[in-house]
A and B are shown apart, each in its own frame.
With several copies, the nearest count.
Chain A
Amino acid sequence: MGKRRSTAHPYIPNSARAAKEAMLREIGAASEDDLYEDIPEALRFRGRLAIPEALASEPELRRHVEGLLAKNRSCAESLNFLGAGCTQHFVPAVCDEINARAEFLTAYAGEPYDDHGRFQSLFDYASLMGELLNMDVVNVPTYDGFQATATGLRMAARITGRSEVLVSRAVSADKLSKIRDYLRPRIRVQLFDFDPVTGEPDLASLEEAISNETAAVYFESPSYLGVIPSCGDDVSATAHDVGALSVVGVDPSTLGVLAPPADYGADIVVGDLQPLGMHMAYGGGHAGFIATRDEPRFVLEYPSRLFGITSTSVEGEYGFGDVAFERTSFALREGGKEWVGTAAALWGITAGAYLALLGPQGMRELGETILQRSHYAAKRLARIPGVRAPRFRGAFFHEFVVDFSRTGKSVTRIHRALLRRGIFGGKDLSSEFASLKGCALYSVTEVHTKGDLDRLADAIEEAVA
């Protein structure tokens, strides 16, 4: 035991004594302690860190961490219907292969020359998303859809010079919390209603709330409650009428079959890339996109990096680099737009690969398959006495609200019964929306087979009986 203590650590080459001594000699220091000369004694931590002893060998480390992970029960081992902003889709093996490549995984911020691959793959990504969204400008991803939304709204405020945004009530409480925190310093957040029957944006409520001070109207397709707005152009027109921008959050996995928001008047389109090839990873698969038309008043308001294409000193060679870098906080500190930093580039590369793999046909088929499966699920559930599915009449894609309120059983109780059968029921909405007590949001995608959906229906039938 003791004998190994002097062993160099595999991650710290110069913890080997020979190197250490040679280097100390070279720099003329007696020990590493001398190098901390600028840290006053009063600031020195002289205790022992309250951290467990090292598991220095890989087998010990793996045994420990895998032991912890074994306490989880994953969606691979269960049948999952949770969505609500993080969706279980199939992840092609090629996506994982690409984002596991050491070069992509461990690169960071090299130049366009030595990191050409990063620049090109993110340009490829933006270009693929541009087609999906029918937009000419797409950012290098920001952290997640929440951030993309909040930034999209701040961009709108800067572009219009106004300081109020109208947000559909059919967004998640969490996202609304993020928006409020992020806009608080300068921008008022007002809500407008959704129609209690269809779940679509309530145009009357919007008209009532909108004014000349409105910078942006924000709504989603599908909404948090799963509903696809059929009146997108009316909402956008209402915004445009008062000089506001239409900001739309969209699930990109829908766009093989559903119209891109640009087609119904969106000026700024935002959302999350997680459905496009990222594992859920307990919420670790998120990345935010922001897309606009190619107009300087939009482009110059992005805080994110934007990669553009150019020529190089070699004829026929593609080069890539930063567009309008002087916008950023890297260049201007507090004078830049919000800030830029490490975000979620690897998921941008992955989403690009996903779109390239799926192609136009694949994205269409994905959408069709999901529509059929989710509608089948709703139909099956609707046959269960006391269960209403979908709760709203508006069109839906992969998610829909299931109303258990007439079963006489709480969502908690029903879901506990499902859990015992290895099924993760959808997100309980009871406390999130006063009007949706006894309701839950179910997500059905291409990963669910008919057998899975029948199993769900049977289990619910038993649970509510």
Chain B
Amino acid sequence: MKDIPAIRAAQGAPRLRDFHQARWDEPVIFELSAEGERGVLVPETEPGIERAVGDVAASLPRSVLRAAPPALPEISQNRVLRHYLRLSQENLGADLNVDVGQGTCTMKYSPKVNDVLARSPKLAELHPLQDEETVQGILEVMYRFEGFLKALSGLDAFSLQPGAGSAAVYANASIIRAYHASRGEADQRREIITTVFSHPSNAACAKTAGFDIVTLHPDADGYPDWKALQAAVSERTAGLMITNPEDTGIFNPRIREFVDAVHEVGGLCAYDQANANGILGITRAKEAGFDLCHFNLHKTFSTPHGCGGPAGAAIGVTRKLARFLPVPVVTFDGRRYHLDYDRPDSIGKIRPWYGVAPVILRAYAWVRSLGPDGLREVARVAVLNNNYLLKKMLEIRGVSAPYAKGRRRIEQVRYSWADLTRETGVHSEDLGLRAADFGVHYWTSHHPWIVQEPCTLEPTESYSKADLDEYAAIIRHVAEEARRDPETVKTAPHRSTVHRNDPSPMDDPRQWAITWRAYRRKLRETAGSGRRKA
């Protein structure tokens, strides 16, 4: 009789997981087609209707009709389902792994009960144009949830319309534009100031909204550069759009001074609170003096990321900017909830209807399941987890946490493997892919790539000490392996669903193929040209 737990304990503490991801080797869906198979049937028209209207399609003008049916595959229901279930297993997902490697994305536990509520036919089968009388429940959810956000930010009015964080940043930029336009300063105020460690969307969305972007770099300690800000502000300044804590996990302690300086020159300040998870109930937009802010519901408020949406976001403003919010807004007359469209100064529509209702409902339920104390506990434990993981990470040779040496971080940490890369030639990306062989991974962070060989870890409140210990043990193992056996790391992953891509088609217009039909065509063309060449 073997003592398996003892053997496992002897294999490491914590032991590395002997992992292999599901690998189904599925064809592309078109390859599953078999003549005549059907996946679902459509209701047939009743004879009474047929008799009354005949063959309507045949009566339409030739020019509007499709000549041949679309070349979709023909697949039975069982096989379609099997295809997608297999593909689903070939995905990690926050429900499946210790998902701390997608730092800045606040991958946290999305409670199943909230999904159940969001899938209720009482929400799923609501049309957005129904009479207000028939949608009092969801309007109440929206109205109340806006109230929660007011409490969490200290700002005065909210809209839940934006479909995600970047859309919210864009909407805030639009409001800033509208505000200055309302004062006749639209042409003068063309600059948005941001920091390089604010999420890239602050720059990109403001640019899309028509502004010029002024980007501040950090000072030597990694804090947003106060001198640079002072130099940047002017009568051209439309506003400041900034994340805090920044994507490095560092909180800008002079944030109030930044805001004041921008206000001084007549600009507005928008707080990207998509990183709010570590400061919920600890510090707010109001105290820092912001005019606008936004939250990501799919980050801080736990709604699931859905492979990249549907998501949801909220924008909040002070009283003076409320009139610019998107239409409609939800109002309450003490008895009933309404949708108010009569807002002449509004920037108009950001997205259809009133926001991503199932996401809002989940976020509402999440707040209700925690209450005021629970929300603060979320923040405190997220920060505890982050600083614990920081401690564990810094025990690994070859990694560093640039900037603000010895200071605590808030919600995440941007690390650097520059030392290890110098020593071994193994890049951060390789380490992340090798970690995938143990059922976790990390990404190498988005822009800016100022921190060399970066990775960003954000443990949130959702992971236990044991989870973080396991994660750190995997990263330690991988880093040590980079010294011992760099080839294994550089050719990883070995135990994921698939192996390293040939990247060459991805940036080559002759080879890239974004659909199966394009791929087949290019293969034919290549074969043809190959033949011609030969």
Instruction: Write out the residue numbers on chain B whose beta carbons fall within 8 Å of the beta carbon of A145.
Output: 352
- Tell me how far the C-beta of A261 lies from the nearest C-beta in chain B, rounded to whole angstroms: 11
Q: For the complex, is A246 an interface residue (Cβ under 8 Å from B)?
A: no
Asked if B377 contacts A12 (CB within 8 A), the reply is yes
Asked if A330 contacts B281 (CB within 8 A), the reply is no
- The distance in angstroms between the C-alpha atoms of A207 and B351, with both chains bound, is 31
Asked if B255 contacts A146 (CB within 8 A), the reply is no
Given contacts A14-B381, A38-B250, A138-B515, 19 further A-B contacts (CB under 8 A): A11-B111, A36-B251, A42-B287, A58-B41, A65-B368, A73-B130, A105-B95, A107-B91, A114-B493, A116-B91, A145-B352, A228-B64, A283-B352, A284-B356, A311-B502, A342-B296, A344-B310, A357-B75, A376-B52
Q: Which 9 A-B pairs have the closest CB atoms?
A: A185-B210, A54-B371, A16-B36, A283-B353, A357-B39, A71-B137, A329-B204, A341-B166, A117-B90
Q: For the complex, is A314 an interface residue (Cβ under 8 Å from B)?
A: yes
- Which parts of A8-46 form the interface with B (CB within 8 Å)? 8-20, 22-24, 26-27, 29, 32-40, 42-45
- The distance in angstroms between the C-alpha atoms of A345 and B305, with both chains bound, is 9
Q: A186-B210, A313-B500 are in contact. Are A424 and B131 (CB under 8 A)?
A: yes
- The distance in angstroms between the C-alpha atoms of A34 and B518, with both chains bound, is 46
Asked if A140 contacts B308 (CB within 8 A), the reply is yes
Asked if A37 contacts B407 (CB within 8 A), the reply is yes
Asked if B57 contacts A371 (CB within 8 A), the reply is yes
Asked if B381 contacts A32 (CB within 8 A), the reply is yes
Question: What are some 28 contacts across the A-B interface (CB < 8 A)?
Answer: A1-B47, A7-B41, A35-B380, A45-B281, A55-B368, A56-B369, A57-B43, A65-B368, A76-B125, A98-B88, A103-B95, A110-B91, A120-B28, A137-B514, A146-B352, A184-B177, A256-B69, A263-B67, A281-B357, A282-B357, A305-B308, A312-B498, A319-B501, A331-B446, A338-B204, A339-B205, A356-B39, A449-B43
Q: Give B370's nearest chain A residue, CB to CB.
A: A54
In-complex Cβ contact of B57 among A101, A141, A368 (8 A): A368
Instruction: Write out the residue numbers on chain B whose beta carbons fall within 8 Å of the beta carbon of A323.
Output: 505-507, 512, 514
Q: For the complex, is B128 an interface residue (Cβ under 8 Å from A)?
A: yes
Asked if B105 contacts A108 (CB within 8 A), the reply is yes
Q: A103-B96, A321-B503, A357-B39 are in contact. Are A132 and B70 (CB under 8 A)?
A: yes
- The distance in angstroms between the C-alpha atoms of A181 and B408, with both chains bound, is 41
Q: For the complex, is B304 an interface residue (Cβ under 8 Å from A)?
A: yes
Instruction: Write out the residue numbers on chain B whose beta carbons fall within 8 Å of the beta carbon of A330.
Output: 200, 446-447
Asked if B204 contacts A113 (CB within 8 A), the reply is no
Q: Give B429's nearest chain A residue, CB to CB.
A: A111
Stretch from B228-236, B385-393, B417-425, B480-488 forming part of the interface with A: B385-393
Q: For the complex, is A88 an interface residue (Cβ under 8 Å from B)?
A: yes
Asked if A343 contacts B113 (CB within 8 A), the reply is no
Q: For the complex, is B465 an interface residue (Cβ under 8 Å from A)?
A: yes
Asked if A16 contacts B461 (CB within 8 A), the reply is no
Instruction: Write out the residue numbers on chain B whose beta carbons fall within 8 Å of the beta carbon of A90.
Output: 43
In-complex Cβ contact of B79 among A13, A73, A109, A361 (8 A): A13
Asked if B133 contacts A122 (CB within 8 A), the reply is no
Asked if A106 contacts B305 (CB within 8 A), the reply is yes
Q: A16-B36, A137-B515, A144-B163 are in contact. Are A58 and B45 (CB under 8 A)?
A: no
Asked if A324 contacts B387 (CB within 8 A), the reply is no
Instruction: Write out the residue numbers on chain A whose beta carbons fall within 8 Å of the beta carbon of B357.
Output: 281-284
Instruction: Write out the residue numbers on chain B whose beta carbons fall within 8 Å of the beta carbon of A138.
Output: 514-515
Instruction: Write out the residue numbers on chain B whose beta carbons fall within 8 Å of the beta carbon of A110.
Output: 91-92, 102, 441, 443
Contact with A along B189-207 (1 / 0, CB 8 A): 0000000000011011111
- Which parts of B340-360 form the interface with A (CB within 8 Å)? 347-359
Q: A19-B465, A66-B117 are in contact. Are A114 and B497 (CB under 8 A)?
A: yes
Stretch from A79-87, A159-167, A384-392, A403-411 forming part of the interface with B: A79-87
Q: A32-B384, A103-B88 are in contact. Are A86 and B127 (CB under 8 A)?
A: yes
Asked if B88 contacts A104 (CB within 8 A), the reply is yes
- Tell me how far the C-beta of B130 lies from the nearest C-beta in chain A, rounded to whole angstroms: 6
Q: For the complex, is B7 an interface residue (Cβ under 8 Å from A)?
A: yes
- The distance in angstroms between the C-alpha atoms of A3 and B463, with both chains bound, is 25
Asked if B514 contacts A299 (CB within 8 A), the reply is yes
Q: Give B149's nearest chain A residue, CB to CB.
A: A51
Asked if B72 contacts A10 (CB within 8 A), the reply is no
- The distance in angstroms between the C-alpha atoms of A447 and B218, with both chains bound, is 55
- The distance in angstroms between the C-alpha atoms of A181 and B178, with both chains bound, is 10
Instruction: Write out the residue numbers on chain A whose beta carbons fall within 8 Å of the beta carbon of B407.
Output: 37-38
Q: A40-B253, A259-B66 are in contact. Are A177 and B41 (CB under 8 A)?
A: no
Q: Give B380's nearest chain A residue, CB to CB.
A: A32
Q: Give B202's nearest chain A residue, CB to CB.
A: A333
- The distance in angstroms between the C-alpha atoms of A42 and B254, with both chains bound, is 11
In-complex Cβ contact of B40 among A4, A58, A283, A319 (8 A): A58
Asked if A111 contacts B436 (CB within 8 A), the reply is yes
Instruction: Write out the residue numbers on chain B whose beta carbons fall within 8 Å of the beta carbon of A245.
Output: none
- The distance in angstroms between the C-alpha atoms of A22 and B392, with both chains bound, is 13
Q: A55-B368, A358-B39 are in contact. Are A333 and B391 (CB under 8 A)?
A: no
Instruction: Write out the residue numbers on chain B whose beta carbons fall within 8 Å of the beta carbon of A117.
Output: 86-91, 497
In-complex Cβ contact of A286 among B93, B150, B351 (8 A): B351
- The distance in angstroms between the C-alpha atoms of A311 and B433, with both chains bound, is 17
Instruction: Write out the residue numbers on chain B whose beta carbons fall within 8 Å of the beta carbon of A104.
Output: 88, 91, 93, 306-307
Instruction: Write out the residue numbers on chain B whose beta carbons fall within 8 Å of the beta carbon of A118.
Output: 87, 91, 307-308
Instruction: Write out the residue numbers on chain A whose beta carbons fall within 8 Å of the beta carbon of B85.
Output: 98, 101-102
Asked if A343 contacts B309 (CB within 8 A), the reply is yes
Q: A17-B36, A60-B43, A334-B204 are in contact. Are A308 and B113 (CB under 8 A)?
A: no
Q: For the complex, is A209 an interface residue (Cβ under 8 Å from B)?
A: no
Asked if A103 contacts B92 (CB within 8 A), the reply is yes
- The distance in angstroms between the C-alpha atoms of A309 and B3, with both chains bound, is 11
Q: For the complex, is A240 an interface residue (Cβ under 8 Å from B)?
A: no
Q: For the complex, is A69 an interface residue (Cβ under 8 Å from B)?
A: yes
In-complex Cβ contact of B151 among A38, A50, A101, A114 (8 A): A50
Instruction: Write out the residue numbers on chain B whose beta carbons fall within 8 Å of the beta carbon of A320.
Output: 501
Instruction: Write out the residue numbers on chain B whose beta carbons fall within 8 Å of the beta carbon of A376.
Output: 49, 52-53
Instruction: Write out the residue numbers on chain B whose beta carbons fall within 8 Å of the beta carbon of A55.
Output: 368-369, 371
Instruction: Write out the residue numbers on chain B whose beta carbons fall within 8 Å of the beta carbon of A16.
Output: 34-38, 74
Asked if B135 contacts A282 (CB within 8 A), the reply is yes
Asked if A395 contacts B306 (CB within 8 A), the reply is no
- Tell me how far the C-beta of B121 lies from the nearest C-beta in chain A, rounded to whole angstroms: 5
- Which parts of B130-145 form the interface with A (CB within 8 Å)? 130-131, 133-138, 140-141
Asked if B80 contacts A353 (CB within 8 A), the reply is yes
Asked if A19 contacts B36 (CB within 8 A), the reply is yes
Instruction: Write out the residue numbers on chain A whose beta carbons fall within 8 Å of the beta carbon of B93.
Output: 102-107
Q: Give B196's nearest chain A residue, CB to CB.
A: A333
Asked if A355 contacts B34 (CB within 8 A), the reply is no
Asked if B74 contacts A113 (CB within 8 A), the reply is no
Contact with A along B241-285 (1 / 0, CB 8 A): 000000000110101100000000000000000000001011110
Q: For the complex, is B129 an interface residue (Cβ under 8 Å from A)?
A: yes
Instruction: Write out the residue numbers on chain A whose beta carbons fall within 8 Å of the beta carbon of B250.
Output: 38
Q: For the complex, is A208 an interface residue (Cβ under 8 Å from B)?
A: no
